[in-house]
Amino acid sequence: MNRLQGKIVGITGGSAGFGRAMALAFAREGAAAVAICDLNMEDAAATVKDLEEIGTKTLAVELDVTDTAGLRAYVQQIIDTFGRLDVWVGNAGIAGGAPAEDETEEFWRKMIDLDLNAVFFGAQAAGRHMLEQGGGVILSTASMLIEQHTQAYRTAYGVAKTGVVNLTRALAVEWGGRGIRVNAIGPGFANTGLFQRGRTEHSIPVEDLLSRVPMGRFVEVEEIAAAAVFLASDEASFINGHLLLVDGGWSANSSPT
Ligand code: NAI
């Protein structure tokens, strides 16, 4: 299918995991260009190669998204290179945490800066251009660990991701009348590098995590990418301010495991 024919897409954290899967899915759906930024340029090179094989133009920028000036420059570079920006995905993030009494100020601030502040400043930079060009789509990668659904040892993470859902709604309200749709995706547990790196002595055993998922497994990165393609496409033309949970029913499950 060509649901994103000719679109110009910018993604943060596009080298690996969900971001990489989204980049490839957007390209397969006909996007004219898919830009990625990331800290990890080795993985970025592999993603660029795969994007080029699909036949999409690409741009890969080394960037720590908590560098707000750099983030704005990345958005500008996409526009300077490809002429416009149709779809923006604020996806780069980390997970993890510790018992609240042991949480360090450094980790708390890093989490809020990366998983929340950078999502807002990226959306703001993209949104400014989309307002000028007359429309666009903004997506963010939140989590299923939001609002009333949280977990022990994930205080900062839950606060950041809940903030992402709330800013999604706020931007949708402000910009919906000016041609921009703003939505978020709430993935379930995925066995990505992030998940594996985030395993600590405080982590809940994998079998216990998955036992609460009615479908009994991790989400595949391609399933998150499919949700992103749908939300970015005209099929979702009246979906605005929405959190699309892709969690196999985890959030719906309040039965004891
Ligand atoms: P991942 O670690 O596989 O991929 C994330 C990418 O973002 C990596 O390429 C990494 O280098 C990049 N990145 C990290 N910090 C960055 C920074 N400061 N600046 C630029 N790039 C940076 O992780 P995954 O699992 O694909 O996660 C993507 C998003 O999904 C994150 O926001 C995460 O919180 C969220 N998420 C992940 C879940 C999981 O179980 N894996 C579940 C729910 C949400």
Distance 43 CA to ligand 1 centre (A): 13
DSSP string, 160-197: HHHHHHHHHHHHHHHHGGGTEEEEEEEE----SHHHHH
State the pTM of this model: 0.97
Q: 201 and 153 in contact (C-beta within 8 Å)? A: no
What are the pLDDT digits (tens) for 70-92?
999 999 999 999 999 999 999 99
Q: What pLDDT shows up at residue 88?
A: 99
In a domain, 104, yes or no: yes
User: Ligand 1 atom closest to Cα of 193?
Assistant: 3
Least confident of 44-53, 116-125, 148-157: 148-157
What are the pLDDT digits (tens) for 120-145?
999 999 999 999 999 999 999 999 99
Phi and psi dihedrals of 114, rounded to 5?
Answer: -85, -50
Instruction: Report whether pLDDT(200) > 80.
Output: no
The residue contributing the CA closest to ligand 1 atom 21 is 38
Q: Is there a catalytic annotation at residue 157?
A: yes
What are the pLDDT digits (tens) for 7-50?
999 999 999 999 999 999 999 999 999 999 999 999 999 999 99
Number of domains in the chain: 1
Question: Quick one: 183 exposed, middle or buried, by C-beta within 10 A (0-12, 13-18, 19+)?
Answer: buried
Q: Supply 85's token pair.
A: 């920006």
In a domain, 141, yes or no: yes
In a domain, 73, yes or no: yes
Q: What pLDDT shows up at residue 257?
A: 52
In a domain, 257, yes or no: no
Q: What is the percentage of the chain residues whose pLDDT exceeds 70?
A: 99
Q: Supply 64's token pair.
A: 């720590």
| Ligand 1 pocket, CB under 6 A | 12-13, 15-19, 38-40, 43, 63-66, 91-95, 114-115, 141, 143, 187, 189-190, 192-195
In a domain, 130, yes or no: yes
Strand pairing partners for 103?
none
In a domain, 2, yes or no: no
3-state SS assignment for residue 40: coil
In a domain, 111, yes or no: yes
Q: pLDDT averaged over the chain?
A: 96
CATH number of the domain that residue 72 is part of: 3.40.50.720
In a domain, 3, yes or no: no
Residue 132: give the domain boundaries.
8-250
Q: 17 and 190 in contact (C-beta within 8 Å)? A: yes
Distance 15 CA to ligand 1 centre (A): 9
Q: What pLDDT shows up at residue 148?
A: 78
103-111 mean pLDDT: 97
